[in-house]
Amino acid sequence: MSDLHTTSSGESHGSVSSYIIGFVLAVILTVLAFAVVATHSLSPSGTVLAISALALVQVLVHLHYFLHMGGGSEQRWNNICFVFTVGFVAIFIIGTLFIMNNTALHMMSR
Amino acid sequence: MAHDTTVPTSGHDEHHHESPVVFGFWVYLMTDCIIFGSLFAAFAVLRNQFNGGPSGHELFELSGLGLETALLLVSSITYGFGMIAAHKNEISKVIMWLGVTFLLGLGFVGLEVNEFAHMIHEGAGPDRSAFLSAFFTLVSTHGLHVTCGLIWIVTLIVQLMGTTEIPERMMNKLTCLSLFWHFLDIVWICVFTYVYLASMI
């Protein structure tokens, strides 16, 4: 346990190199997302999948390199809150889309 | 996970135990996340309800979006450099980086206000269609958060001026703003992906 505390002390601050790694990754992912849309190189559904995947990876990059989230024991409660929120928002958005789509189908078949 | 990429930046060990203030602010950010989640859900439902008005494909431009995204992304790393300077107790550098972050954020808000004014002038205001109502609500909520962040940055710059060291209380304020600023960048990733790019396919 004490090992975790000492090693995570640098992590919670971040360093110049970790910020630059995060920034370079974020720039690459952003440029890729823009390029996929600008060049129309994929089918519409393929494009949506590709930019969704790029956005997900970029969010993880930001969480790790900029918000310094990690598995350290002192961040346990932060992580519990975070997982709860992500779960809540996922149920909220998927549930809304499902219900509204279902409603629209029923209204159409009147 | 990232232990190999980090080196201890200073001997300020007293700062690395997270204070209840920072945890409380984290919980606030999570509730903010739920606000944005519900606005995204509303936008997702209404995104094709144009009511004969303009679609995202006709309204959005890649170049302007790219510039906004670049400003916000660069402001994230400049704030990060400010935090590193704060941990080293280099107050003049902290003020300098906060100032750069402020200017980048101001540029972002300026571009966004300009874009909104342009759209409203063209008759594509929030009253035109359900799609535009959802668009303006979601994107301007983010813009409002960035504006609050700008006010917060100015406040901290003023509080830092003339001081010679950064007490723990000040460090907590800087850490909270850091979380806030990087959180807004994460929301912007979702905005440019699902609101702008997905409408331009």
User: What is the DSSP track for A6-53?
Assistant: HHHHHHHH--HHHHHHHHHHHHHHHHHHHHHHHHT-S-HHHHHHHHHH
d(CA A65, CA A69) in angstroms, rounded, equals: 8
Domain definitions of chain B by residue range: 62-200
- Predicted pLDDT of residue B4: 45
Q: Is the pLDDT of residue A5 over 70?
A: no
- Predicted pLDDT of residue B16: 52
Q: Do A10 and B1 touch (CB under 8 A)?
A: no
Token digits for A19?
Answer: 């910020």
Mean pLDDT of A92-105: 94
Determine which of A3, A7, A15, A21 to mutate to test the interface with B (most B C-beta atoms within 10 Å). A15
Mean pLDDT of A24-39: 95
> ipTM of this model?
0.86
Q: What is the mean pLDDT of chain A?
A: 86
Token digits for A5?
Answer: 């505390």
Which residue is listed with tokens 């920072």?
Answer: B22
Nearest CA in chain A to B174: A13
In CATH terms, is domain B62-200 a member of 3.30.70.600? Answer: no
| Nearest-CA distance B96 → chain A (Å) | 16
- Predicted pLDDT of residue A12: 59
Mean pLDDT in consecutive groups of 10 residues from the start of chain B, 201 residues:
44 58 95 97 94 92 95 96 94 97 98 96 94 97 98 97 92 96 97 94 86
| Nearest-CA distance A108 → chain B (Å) | 15
- Provide the residue count of chain B: 201
Domain definitions of chain A by residue range: 1-70, 75-110
- The pLDDT-based confidence of A6 (bands split at 50, 70, 90) is very low
Q: Do A11 and B37 touch (CB under 8 A)?
A: no
Mean pLDDT of A99-108: 89
- Considering CB atoms only, which of A48, A59, A66 is closest to B76? A66
Q: Do A14 and B6 touch (CB under 8 A)?
A: yes
What's the pTM value of the predicted model, to 2 decimals? 0.88
pLDDT in tens, A37-71: 999 989 999 999 999 999 999 999 999 999 998 88
Pick the closest to residue B171 from B27, B35, B21, B68 (CA basis): B21
- Predicted pLDDT of residue A109: 55
